[in-house]
């Protein structure tokens, strides 16, 4: 047989999804893969029940059903602070995962360089490989996960085609300040690069931090592909609904790529999700309160056990410091943690470009009783690791 494609020769399977399998194997409380153990608002699920009988059940418009795009554009225009035209500036995709992939393919040609901050969400590595981009990594250094502006400019001097920005960040929990975004924006304009954002955690932010959309900064709309998703905002990661918001020139290309990749996001689910997109502002306030409470519960519990950890400003991940332990690798530590203590975590090294083995990542998109169970297990077993 001839060899399969060389494109994926360097792919490993997703470490995050592997840790879910290991957690299941040992009956561990799975705080590895970041999805909630609770469902979407009932306005959405009730609407889905109606749609099961009434439809739609066939393809929607390739770049998204009219009413979904209209509702999304209205919601995001309010948040982003400029008018988004649902007819020409929105592409509805199968999650932010497809939004990011389609955006990369819209922007880069094979061999083009793309700046990626490290630590980074693991999909960006695969996105780069699949689109033929060459990643240039710029470190976000713990514990503050700030970047060095000169180091960033040095990367821009290589004339990359784009920068990938995850804000709020997975796994660091960093929320980029307006000043930091201004530095990135000025460099993007100066060196004529695009910015591809992943803003799936735009609504999951802890006081006093606020989310700034880089597309809203001067000169940025025309060079930004703002990717987002309903997965985290409405606790519906399995629905696979996401989007790209960008200028008509960019969406024109992104829509074609999206069409050939997936034809469209699921039509019945788009229809039901309109009930979420049109919820009032109170919903997002409650969502913040919900996650603020979960974050408080987990961090307080970790402090009580004496585990050093990051303080996330946004998103729902915390990095635990394991540098005192003597394991061969953080992957080995995570396997032992699942087996001996019964808690599933992700090795931090799967997010860092640098050789850093000092962290493991837990997420807290779980019911309070699930988090309490995980904390009890950590209390009993952490020090024996």
Ligand X SMILES: Cc1ncc(COP(=O)(O)O)c(C=O)c1O
Please give the residue ranges that form the binding site for ligand X (CB under 6 A).
34, 95-97, 121, 166, 170, 198, 200, 229, 231, 237, 242
DSSP alpha helices (H): ranges in 202-305? Answer: 248-262, 267-277, 281-305
CB nearer ligand X, residue 30 or residue 229: 229
Cα separation, 42 vs 187, in Å, equals 44
Query: Which two three-digit tokens encode residue 38?
Result: 């609770």
Distance of alpha carbon 67 from its chain centroid, rounded?
A: 25
Q: By C-alpha distance, which of 316, 335, 344, 332 is closest to 172?
A: 316
- CA end-to-end distance (rounded Å), the chain: 46
CB nearer ligand X, residue 20 or residue 186: 20
**Nearest distance in Å: CB 237, ligand X:** 5
**Nearest distance in Å: CB 239, ligand X:** 8
CB nearer ligand X, residue 160 or residue 314: 314
The answer to whether the CB of 225 falls within 8 A of the CB of 106 is yes
CB nearer ligand X, residue 194 or residue 317: 317
**Nearest distance in Å: CB 288, ligand X:** 17
Checking 356-359 for CB contacts under 8 A at 24+ apart, the result is 356/119, 357/322, 357/329, 357/330, 358/321, 358/322, 358/323, 358/330, 359/142, 359/319, 359/320, 359/321, 359/322, 359/330
**Nearest distance in Å: CB 230, ligand X:** 7
**Nearest distance in Å: CB 316, ligand X:** 9
**Nearest distance in Å: CB 56, ligand X:** 21
DSSP class of residue 338? I
CB nearer ligand X, residue 99 or residue 275: 99
CB nearer ligand X, residue 198 or residue 335: 198
């Amino acid at each position: 047989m001839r060899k399969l494609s060389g494109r994926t020769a360097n792919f490993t399977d997703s470490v995050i999804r592997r840790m879910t399998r290991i957690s299941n194997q040992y009956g561990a409380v799975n705080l590895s893969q970041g999805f909630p153990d609770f469902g979407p608002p009932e306005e959405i699920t009730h609407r889905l029940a109606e749609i099961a009988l009434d439809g739609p059940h066939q393809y929607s418009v390739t770049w998204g059903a009219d009413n979904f795009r209209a509702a999304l554009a209205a919601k995001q225009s309010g948040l982003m602070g400029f008018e988004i035209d649902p007819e020409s500036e929105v592409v509805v995709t199968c999650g932010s995962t497809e939004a990011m992939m389609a955006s990369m393919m819209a922007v880069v040609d094979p061999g083009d360089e793309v700046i990626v901050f490290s630590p980074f969400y693991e999909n960006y590595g695969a996105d780069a490989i699949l689109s033929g981009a060459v990643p240039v990594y710029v470190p976000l250094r713990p514990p503050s996960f700030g970047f060095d502006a000169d180091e960033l400019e040095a990367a821009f001097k290589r004339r990359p085609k784009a920068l990938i920005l995850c804000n709020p960040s997975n796994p660091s929990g960093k929320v980029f300040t307006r000043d930091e975004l201004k530095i990135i924006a000025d460099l993007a304009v100066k060196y004529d690069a695009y910015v591809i954002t992943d803003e799936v955690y735009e609504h999951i932010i802890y006081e006093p931090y606020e989310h700034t959309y880089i597309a809203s900064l001067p000169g940025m709309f025309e060079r930004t592909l703002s990717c987002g998703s309903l997965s985290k905002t409405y606790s519906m990661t399995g629905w696979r609904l996401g989007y790209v918001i960008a200028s008509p020139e960019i969406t024109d290309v992104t829509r074609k790529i999206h069409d050939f990749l997936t034809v469209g996001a699921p039509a019945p689910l788009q229809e039901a999700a309109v009930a979420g997109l049109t919820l009032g502002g109170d919903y997002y306030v409650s969502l913040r309160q919900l996650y603020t409470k979960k974050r408080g519960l987990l961090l307080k519990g970790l402090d009580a056990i004496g585990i050093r950890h990051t303080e996330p400003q946004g998103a729902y991940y915390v990095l635990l410091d394991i540098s005192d332990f003597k394991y061969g690798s953080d992957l080995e530590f995570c396997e032992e943690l699942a087996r001996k203590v019964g808690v599933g975590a992700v090795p931090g090294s799967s997010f860092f470009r640098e050789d850093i083995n000092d962290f493991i990542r837990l997420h807290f998109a779980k019911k309070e009783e699930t988090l309490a169970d995980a904390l009890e297990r950590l209390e009993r077993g952490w020090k024996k690791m």
